Amino acid sequence: MLRFESLYRSKFFAFACAAVVAVGIVEPVRAAENDRIRIAVEGAFPPFNYLDSNNQLQGFDVDIANALCEAAKLKCEFVIQEWTAMIPNLLDNKYDAIISSMSMSAERRQKVAFTQKYYDSPTVFIAPKKSNITGTSPDDLKKLRLGVTAATSQESYAKKFYGDLETTVFHASPDLYKGLADGKVDIILEDKLAVYDWLANTKAGSCCEFKGEDIKNTEYFGDGAGIAVRPTDKPLLDKFNAALKEIEANEIYDTINAKYFPFSIR
């Protein structure tokens, strides 16, 4: 998964469950039929999606979703959903789309339909600044303890290429970062944009830094983050793709980008 620490992934999930934004219990409906859709976000992955001090959804994903819904003239409701059940619950009609920094990996493309990408980010290793790591090949890291987050593209990639390493799978990104800061693991594999804020803007994250080169592997990380819908919901897919083009053309996308990042993530 493509995936900054004032609030953290799944640390506040209990609050998130109680803070679904503008959503009630609704019967499953096709978005194309009445232009009313439910959008799933995790709500614990800053700065992409998180709950503020008033338990309101904020973040890049949320702003992009709102802009897309306005452009497409859709009535949108947000549903907060724990990450590991994102795709199963989409397929089970509990909501109509996922706008939650989901990378478009080959494995996910077999289950859902994706729009064009709405941002991109490489994967990277992160380790303590004091470590003497000089390379990130499997041989370079063979004596180290690796950390990844469950149900992510990084976990799949690590299993394939770093399977011989002692690996700890953390439930959520906040746990992963804390595990590195606390010394439970020696190095972690994570989405670069997701971990950037923790490294740059938190006291705990000041311990660590990027190691090695950016990793871009389309088989595991896809070609960016996309909006996921059910494979049968092509009308909604088309609406989102058209809306993406519109918010890029009228610079709304650039305005949202600049709100969260000092560089383009498109």
Q: pLDDT, tens digit, for every residue of 58-113?
A: 999 999 999 999 999 999 999 999 999 999 999 999 999 999 999 998 899 999 99
Tell me how far apart the terminal alpha carbons of the chain are, to the nearest angstrom: 16
Q: Where in the chain is the domain with CATH 3.40.190.10?
A: 13-120+223-260, 123-220
Round to whole Å and give the CA distance between 183 and 142. 17
pLDDT (0 to 100) of residue 2: 53
- pLDDT at residue 20 greater than cutoff 70: no
Q: In the CATH hierarchy, which fold is given to the domain comprising 123-220?
A: D-Maltodextrin-Binding Protein; domain 2 (3.40.190)
Determine the pLDDT at residue 196. Answer: 87
Q: How many alpha carbons fall within 13 Å on the CB side of residue 44?
A: 23
SS3 122: coil
Residue 266: pLDDT band (50, 70, 90) is confident
Helix H, strand E, coil C: the string for 136-155 is CCCCCCCCCEEEEECCCHHH
Question: In the prediction, which pLDDT does 30 show?
Answer: 54
Backbone angles phi, psi at 31, to 5 degrees: -60, -35
Among 175, 62, 74, 60, CA closest to 119: 60
Q: Which of 33-37, 112-116, 175-179, 201-205 has the lowest mean pLDDT?
A: 33-37
The pLDDT, as a whole number, for residue 262 is: 79
User: Residue 104 corresponds to which amino acid?
Assistant: M
Q: Is the pLDDT of residue 14 over 50?
A: no
As a residue count, the chain comes to: 266
Domain 13-120+223-260 matching CATH 3.40.190.10: the answer reads yes
Q: Which helix (H) or strand (E) holds 64?
A: helix 60-72
Pick the range with the lowest mean pLDDT from 16-20, 191-195, 204-208: 16-20
- pLDDT the model gives residue 6: 33
Q: What is the pLDDT of residue 194?
A: 86
For residue 222, pLDDT beyond 60? yes
